[in-house]
Amino acid sequence: MFGTWFRAVAVAVVVGPLRPCLAEDDCLECDMKMLQLDAKVSDRATKKLLSNCGHLTQETCDPHANYPCSNNCPVHTHGHDCYRPVPEVMAEHPGEDGYCYFNQTGFWVAPMPAEPDFLQSAIGGILTLRDLPVPKGAGYPSPYRGLHTGPVLTFHFEGKVITTQADAAHYSYDDLYGYSLGYLQGQGLSIDLVRNSTAWIAASKQKCDEIQQTYNFQNHELVLADWLDYNAVIGAKVSCAAKQPAAADSAVLEKAKFKSVDDCEPVTARDFAKHHYIKCLLGYPNSASDGAYLNVRACLLDGGTRIGHFSDCPFSPDVSF
């Protein structure tokens, strides 16, 4: 499904009536399992980072997660450390990659090569996520049918009104996430930086430092298992910001305070910042890869009121759309 290596990107599809449909062949759970098993990394390039990688203690994801394959802590070799602050855990493992240590705790957590190619990893993420199956009736084209084929969404976010066209279900989350972090094209970071991995990792570190200066997250807020569980909650809160239904797991809806499209809590910039900041703590190449994906796939247009994709944007990656 992917190239020789692929690092699952940092975002999840959480729109529509998502349920771990364990008994069905074409269910999300099964596809997530495939996603996980296909997340190969090239041995040569990753050797340096692949010391002390964690792995699952069983073949399949923990079915108790609030979204398929999004929290495998109970069945992970380093699962005990999921419930401690990430800064404390990583301080005990200097020089190790957190995406290796916590490999596959969530489907997007997989170590990347020691010499990353962020443009390629972004393309891998784009191609994988666009074709994740969407529950029937969710209102998004699935599989992806092309540019400008999905519903137009209007976000009310942090006092601003921004539109996008959701050509795949994950667009709502990823578009607003990229915008919120300032990672979209047109928000100041150039694609030339993405092409230079050293420079891009440095830019990511700077972004991470800015986030922590702004939000001053405390250790108790930075627990890996909470981060994994909150991803689906962010998805529901993104749906709220777009006044879209979010028929997720009931625990997710409760945590997101989502009762209806008119009685729910929209996602905040702080939610997105914290989601990204954990990636910073797990290693700047991981936050850099997240940022590259967000930059390569979308841009801010029309004076900051519309998010576009591919040929809408100054830079469009070499993939069909």
Ligand X SMILES: *[C@@H]1O[C@H](CO)[C@@H](O)[C@H](O)[C@H]1NC(C)=O
Residues 172-211 that bind ligand X (CB under 6 A): 196, 198-199
| Nearer CB in complex with ligand X: 41/288 | 41
From 83, 114, 119, 115, select the one nearest 100 (Cα to Cα).
114
Q: Is 44 in the site for ligand X (CB under 6 A)?
A: no
- CA angle 240–243–246, rounded 5-degree value: 55
Q: Are 234 and 66 in contact (CB under 8 A)?
A: no
Shortest distance (Å) from residue 254 CB to ligand X: 30
- Binds ligand X by CB under 6 A, chosen from 10, 28, 32, 53: 53
- List Cβ neighbours of 191 (8 Å cut-off, separation of 6 or more): 185, 295, 296, 314, 315
- Binds ligand X by CB under 6 A, chosen from 104, 105, 121, 316: 104
Burial class from Cβ neighbours inside 10 Å (0-12, 13-18, 19+) for residue 314 reads: exposed
Site mask, ligand X, residues 4-43, x = CB under 6 A?
A: -------------------------------------x--
Q: Is 55 in the site for ligand X (CB under 6 A)?
A: yes
Shortest distance (Å) from residue 104 CB to ligand X: 4
Q: Is 320 in the site for ligand X (CB under 6 A)?
A: no
Backbone φ and ψ of 11, nearest 5°: -130, 165
Q: Which stretch binds ligand X (CB under 6 A): 49-57, 147-155, 292-300, 303-311?
A: 49-57
Residues 128-157 that bind ligand X (CB under 6 A): none
Helix (H, G, I), strand (E, B) or coil at 224: helix
In this structure, what token pair is assigned to residue 64? 């108790």
Shortest distance (Å) from residue 193 CB to ligand X: 8
